[in-house]
Structure 1
Amino acid sequence: MNDVPQALRERALTALSAARARTAALTDCVDEQDLTAQHSPLMSPLVWDLAHIGNQEELWLLRHVGGRDPMHPEIDSLYDAFEHPRAERPSLPLLPPAEARRYSAEVRGRVLDLLEHTTFEGTALLDDGFAFGMVVQHEQQHDETMLITHQLRKGAAVLAAPDPGPPAGPPVTATEVLVPGGPFTMGTSTEPWALDNERPAHVRDLAPFWIDTLPVTNADFQAFIEAGGYRDRRLWAAEGWDQIRRHAIGAPLFWRREPGGWVRRRFGVTEPVPAQEPVLHVSWYEADAFARWTGRRLPTEAEWEKAARHDPVTGRSTRYPWGDEDPTPAHANLGQRHLRPAAAGSYPQGASPLGVRQLIGDVWEWTSSDFEPYPGFTAFPYKEYSEVFFGPGHKVLRGGSFAVDPVACRGTFRNWDLPVRRQIFSGFRTARDA
């Protein structure tokens, strides 16, 4: 008996179930009014995400893999992310919450039947269960998007999670780490559920550089504010300076200054800004200005990946900073296990061979790089996943945040966004030439 299909089936089932449980938790905790409201023009109503998840699952698994007819073709255009910008979606005739839930549940029931009988053969979509992995990652990415919507939502807290514990082990003493120059393998050709923009593996040759051992903290960023960083035109890219002047930005999103010090709003709770947490909700322009203020710079995407994956002893590029094993709670802050980053210096078991900490989880890290294809890139299974976003308009973020599920986070995973974005769970670390 061939155990490979059964192992793939079990992996897909576990991942599909975990994603759907998280989707339910993010949508069952609010009432119908909250589900249908648009909490920010930057985000969709939660009910749109809920039905969009089901619609994409139907499209790729039931239609493309299973060859089945559309269940409700009349709704396809409503949930096409490229046809309707987020700001317009509340005006569409969307499925009400109860119908959206029924539709997604009906799709899932049919998908589980398909999964039970698939042989994982015949098309590239089925190789290594890729189509199921793609759909799972899509749902988890929308779960992170919905968590961002929860952060933007006004009103009392509806989500809860335990806080991370204090950093374990001895304190970090080195503020930066030297990454040696030379070649390393970037990207992947073997990770079964890697998406098209992570492929193919290719060799990059980098000069030596220094990179921060830890992400930049709130205390670090507060020093930038107090030193007048938001008022110093010399630190800012032209578009960033225009943004902060036009919108009167003087601190990370959700921060405000009170007589007793800085406070922030986090998922409906107002609290003092924790000094040792990695800074969160900053744009690329803010990260770039801070780096210039320190006399440093943001790492390139290739530098970030080399710091995260290259083992100088073996010369290998590992799946994660700590090696090839899947993440555990001892390695990184992932999966919405906590609703905040862990303090800088946490997760010593997740350090890279060179000693760089928290490269995976906690906060997405801005890099200096534009989102571009790797040499030999091939769009798969559709151009709209990556190809249409390539170019200087989007900057690359790496590493994942506390809101990212492990299935959608690895050493090769690439995120991208507009450099003005602040509502995302974004932070950064800095680098310098050696």
Structure 2
Amino acid sequence: MSVQNFTRPDVAALRGELETALTRSRARTLGLTDCVDEADLVAQHSTLMSPLVWDLAHIGNQEEMWLVRDIGKRQPVRGDIDELYDAFKHSRSSRPSLPLLNAGEARDYVHTVREKVWDALEASPLTGRPLERDGFAFAMVAQHEQQHDETMLATHQLRTGAAVLDLPNAPEATVPPGRDLEVVVAGGPFEMGTSSDPWALDNERPAHVVDVPTFAIDALPVTNAEYIRFIADGGYDREDVWSERGWAHRVDADVTAPQFWEQDSDGTWWRRVFGVMKQVRPAQPVVHVSYFEADAYARWAGKRLPTEAEWEKAARFDPSAQKSRRNPWGESDASEREANLGQRHLEPADVGAYPEGASALGVEQLMGDVWEWTSSDFVPYPGFRVFPYAEYSQVFFGGDYKILRGGSFGTDPFAVRATFRNWDHPIRRQIFAGFRCARDVGR
């Protein structure tokens, strides 16, 4: 059972859970950086992304600032590099020109920092001020590392050259689901967000009641087969199904299919998956599409994208208990039975592959596989308070960002829950994003 289900967790058990989370995140980080040579580690594989070596040292620098200096009250390990690894000081495209730590220095740095973190974890009472209470700072740092691990995984997808990652294929559905399957969600109030989850981040707070009108939502994400029908029907050439901004971007960027897709001479679609060309699997959720593409598909299908509140109600609301769950299937953390999370695979699973992960309302695969675009902008909840720093959420409010929900195959279970909010620009496609559709009912 996760510590998040305890009111007053046993300190020894809490300390052990935090140690496990930090150890697992570091193992993943090293796996994503040790699998390439130094040239690949320091190269910039896309101007959208940092060099992998920057992410590696940035992870260590954030850990040093919060856990070694603040919680541990220790002297800086490398006080001279804070500005180099401040994500707000330098754009991703400019980072290769900075005097960054080289591969060996970065590895030594994160190792030294981690050794001091173990001392801080052992010494902390995990109570008292909000930053230490329930181990929040340690959990925040573990989540931060996992978020950068997913970013590095996206960098691996963008790199060229021989494949360096190899994992089992994602599950196929044993019983193919029927299509045009949707769930009608009755209108009414539900509790959105959280005030009780000790490791939730500031933009997930506070819990508040939202009254959502009756709507219908797809029981499953949109699949490759469905998206191919959109392409075949001229979806990328039909200005009438695109928003004005979406159409302008489609034309300017010459977008004609999901990123990494190619069609051969006989009409078969293929996609590049971490350096390997694979035939597009019809029953997998479509991935690497922008908000504008998702919005255009929904319009073409006579539907729309769900709002953030609709997505969360479909994921969390239990009508029999009249309350919101922590995750679609209940209060427990995700296991391999409920969701394709944690980089166990390098692709989404077929729709219908995780029936045990269904919500109380019968909506499936809301967690894992692909981040799901919603129609909502990134704005604060009523009563939002910055914690522990404005640069995590507040500085992004009101910008050109759309909300994504649910996590992807590259998201660790520790770093996502049904209240978790992700956001990105509507043109972004390198992220592991797909979508499902919704529609109005009774209007």
Same fold (TM over 0.5): yes
8 Å CA contact 1:361–1:400 kept in 2: the answer is: yes
Which of 282, 300, 313 is 2:307 aligned to? Answer: 300
Displaced runs of 4+ in structure 1, greater than 6 A? none
> What code does the residue aligned with 1:146 have?
M
Between the two proteins, the alignment pairs up a number of residues equal to: 433
Q: Pick from 64, 69, 73: which aligns with 1:67?
A: 73
Match of 2:365 in 1: 358
Q: Check whether the contact 1:43–1:86 (CA below 8 A) recurs between aligned residues.
A: yes
User: Which residue of 115, 132, 141 maps to 1:135?
Assistant: 141
| Structure 2 gaps, min length 5 | 1-7
SS at match of 2:211: strand
Is residue 2:32 matched to residue 1:26? Answer: yes
Distance 2:53 2:287 in 1: 26
1:421 aligns with 2:425: no
Q: Could you tell me which of 319, 335, 340 is aligned with 1:333?
A: 340
* Mapped pair 1:155 → 2:161: yes
Measured in 1, the distance between the counterparts of 2:70 and 2:242 equals: 47
**Structure 1, 114-123 or 354-363: larger mean CA deviation:** 114-123
- Asked if structure 1 preserves the Cα contact closer than 8 Å seen for 2:175 and 2:352, the reply is no
2:96 counterpart letter in structure 1: P
Question: In terms of mean alpha carbon deviation, does 14-23 or 65-74 score higher?
Answer: 65-74
Name the Cα RMSD after superposition.
Answer: 1.2
How big is each residue's C-alpha offset from its partner over 1:185-211, in whole Å with a ceiling of 9 and x where there is no partner? Answer: 000011111000000000000111000
Q: Secondary structure at the match of 1:229?
A: coil
Instruction: Specify the SS of the correspondent of 1:155.
Output: coil
Which among 96, 99, 122 is matched to residue 105 of structure 2?
99
Q: Partner of 2:349 in structure 1?
A: 342
Unaligned runs of 5+ in 1: none
Matches within 5 A, 1:134-213: 134-168=140-174, 171-172=177-178, 175-213=181-219
* Partner secondary structure for residue 84 of structure 2: helix
Offset at 1:170? Answer: 7.4
The whole-number CA distance in structure 2 between the counterparts of 1:332 and 1:70 is 40
1:378 and 2:392 equivalent?
Answer: no
Q: CA deviation at 1:392?
A: 4.6
How far did residue 235 of structure 1 move?
1.4
Deviations 1:283-318 (A, max 9, x none): 000000000001100000000000000001111100
Confirm whether residue 279 of structure 1 aligns to residue 258 of structure 2.
Answer: no
Output the CA distance in 2 between the equivalents of 1:168 and 1:327.
Answer: 21
The letter of the residue matching 2:256 is G
| Aligned twin of 1:394 | 401
Deviation, structure 1 residue 345: 1.1
1:264 pairs with 2:271: yes
Superposed displacement of residue 164, structure 1: 2.1
- State how far apart, in whole Å, the 1-side matches of 2:284 and 2:128 are: 48
Give the conservation status (yes or no) of the 8 Å contact 2:290–2:433. yes
Tell me the CA shift for residue 132 of structure 1: 0.4
Does the CA-based 8 Å contact 1:395-1:418 persist in structure 2?
yes
CA distance in 1, matches of 2:26, 2:198: 21
In 1, Cα distance between equivalents of 2:228 and 2:200: 37
Percent identity between the aligned chains? 62
Is the CA contact 1:168–1:347 (under 8 Å) kept in the aligned structure 2?
no
Match for 1:184: what amino acid?
Answer: F
Would you say 1:240 and 2:246 are equivalent positions? Answer: yes
Instruction: Report the Cα distance in structure 2 between the residues aligned to 1:178 and 1:168, rounded to whole angstroms.
Output: 25
Task: Quote the Cα distance in structure 1 between the aligned partners of 2:129 and 2:418.
Answer: 27
Counterpart-to-counterpart distance in 2, 1:133 and 1:228: 47
SS at match of 1:416: strand
- Alpha carbons 1:179, 1:211 under 8 Å: kept: yes
Deviation at 1:238, TM superposition (A): 1.9
CA distance in 2: counterparts of 1:423 and 1:20, whole angstroms:
23
Q: Determine helix, strand or coil for the equivalent of 2:417.
A: coil
Per-residue CA distance 1:300-353 (angstroms, 9 max, x = gap): 000000000000111110011101111100000000001000001110000011
In the TM superposition, residue 236 of structure 1 has moved relative to its aligned partner by: 1.3
Q: For 1:284, give the aligned amino acid.
A: Y
CA distance in 2, matches of 1:229, 1:165: 29
**Deviation per residue, 1:65-97 (Å, 9 max, x gap):** 122222211111000000000000000000000
